[in-house]
Amino acid sequence: MSSRPLVVFGILGTSLDAGKGPARWEKWRPTVSLCQHEDLLVSRLVLLAEPRFGDLATQIEEDVRHASPDTIVERIAVTWKDAWDFEEVYAGLHDIARAYPWKPEREDYLIHLTTGTHVAQICLFLLTEARYFPGRVIQTSPPRKETRGGPGAYTIVDLDLSRYDRIASRFSRERHEGQSFLKAGIDTKNASFNRLIERVEEVAKASRAPMLLMGPTGAGKSQLAARIYELKKARRQIQGEFVPVNCATLRGDAAMATLFGHKKGAYTGAVADRPGLLRKADGGLLFLDEIGELGLDEQAMLLRAIEQKAFYPVGADQEVKSDFLLIAGTNRDLGARAARGDFREDLYARINLWTFRLPALRERPEDIEPNLDYELELASRLLGVNVTMNRAAREAFLDFAASPRALWSGNFRDLNACVTRMATLAHGGRITKENVAEEIERLELAWASGRIHLQHGSSAGGGEILAEVLGAEASTKLDRFDRAQLEEVLRVCRASRTLSEAGRTLFAESRKERTTVNDADRLRKYLARFGLDWQTASGRST
């Protein structure tokens, strides 16, 4: 121990410190025992006591002086009326800490956490950890049976030292384990994606509010929603089922009945009662993928179900209760749809509290390799053989996968499908460079077909990209030719990492005939015709 005076702060224990007559000296009393240890010389004992227990406090002061004549006892009256009221106790101890004349350069302080209500002990610990009480924690324990009557034992913990750091590091490890779980154990390298997962994990643990997962098709929204459910279930925050619903498959009366259930005879074909998926999700998690595809009537009923935890099945005159957590997924711009009246603004506001945009695979080139390894493991389990790639095959695949040639329009679905195909065709589970070359040819043909499809304006969501970037009114004033061309340019910009990369993709053929190429400048000038720049076109504007 230090040679400086030792000051101990403690709360009067109305039960543990109590005792009358000579027999009290045979009872272990934590506050008195502090001053009975030969190797713990207490210069001053600061006793925090409620005024109504003044007689007990006086008795403890006298017994401390008897046990340790050199110890000065200082009594401070605490102001709370209810020792189990967290806010009141915390405020009272906080006021004491701020008013006390601390002298840390001349005195050492110990904070006794053995006495007082559990609420008071917690508050005292928190204030000590925050350095309002600038000392170390001391805990005392009673003597063993064979040494009854002795002072017992004590333990001192410095909240600034490594022992506490090891305790705190357990929470850090748990947090990282949660993030790794949400990423399916994949060692992702993309910094922005890792930050996103870190925030998702924080929100998933702390909030029951709806979450909105945005991103292109195949970016992993469904998988992330399922893992959020498993994380919550593992932490006992949820007990019910995980109920995934693809809203794009719901149409007409069937949509209402599927989601909210129906009573027998509610409409033609309703031959029996049906509980509905919202009822099935009671106590669990409901994942509504492609929520933007729901009709306005379904949206209205869903909003009521979210806010009031109740809804009416089709044909019912009594409401049904269901307390579920909601995660919604979409590849649409719901804000733009709400502005046009295609999506209810009140529902959008309700589900937009926690919104996370999952990036496309092309936006995470550094994560292609760890995801490739993950897909190879999945293929191995699926096929029952150890699927591997030789070095030449791996290098050829990764070079292509990160190049402008690889569109990854289906994102991780494309990656999963191409690895599955290569693994299936590989002899003995060994993927060769020839397997990779065959698969690259297959992918490029598929993506080329997709580009032709987009250029003919038949892809859903093209008008939404224009409305989002140009505004709803301006986008409607474009000629059909300009609309089709600009939609494709904007898609390529959003799938590219840089202006130059987008230019190389868009001008891949014409650039071959030029002696000098400046794809970035050509694209910049094209965008300027519509009053756009790279940040706006790529969706990276702040």
Per-residue pLDDT tens digits for 89-125? 999 999 999 999 999 889 999 999 999 999 999 999 9
According to the per-residue pLDDT averaged within each range, which of 240-254, 261-275, 528-542 is highest? 240-254
Q: Identify which of 342, 289, 320, 308 has the alpha carbon closest to the alpha carbon of residue 463.
A: 342
CB 97 within 8 A of CB 127: yes
Say yes or no to pLDDT of 129 above 80: yes
Please, which residues have CB within 8 angstroms of residue 494's CB and are 6 or more apart in sequence?
360, 465, 537, 538, 539
With a pLDDT cut of 90, the percent of the chain lying above it is: 54
| 375 vs 220: CA distance, rounded Å | 13
Confidence class of residue 389 from pLDDT cuts 50, 70 and 90?
very high
- C-alpha distances out from residue 243 to 224, 250, 287, Å: 14, 15, 6
What is the distance, to the nearest Å, from the Cα of residue 264 to the centroid of all Cα atoms in its chain? 41
Per-residue pLDDT tens digits for 404-432? 889 998 999 999 999 999 999 999 899 99
Q: Identify which of 335, 364, 343, 334 has the alpha carbon closest to the alpha carbon of residue 219.
A: 364
Q: Identify which of 286, 289, 297, 298 has the alpha carbon closest to the alpha carbon of residue 325.
A: 286
Say yes or no to pLDDT of 290 above 80: yes
Per-residue pLDDT tens digits for 43-55? 999 999 999 999 9
Q: Identify which of 440, 431, 435 has the alpha carbon closest to the alpha carbon of residue 406.
A: 440
- C-alpha distances out from residue 321 to 22, 210, 223, 236, Å: 63, 18, 28, 22
Question: Does the predicted model carry a pTM greater than 0.85?
Answer: no
Per-residue pLDDT tens digits for 442-476? 999 888 866 544 444 434 345 567 777 787 677 77
- pLDDT for position 425: 93
- pLDDT for position 72: 95
- pLDDT for position 136: 92
Q: What is the mean pLDDT of the chain?
A: 87
DSSP 161: S
- pLDDT for position 457: 42
| pLDDT mean over 80-97 | 93
- pLDDT for position 476: 74
Taking every pair of Cα atoms in the chain, the longest distance, rounded to a whole number of angstroms, is 106
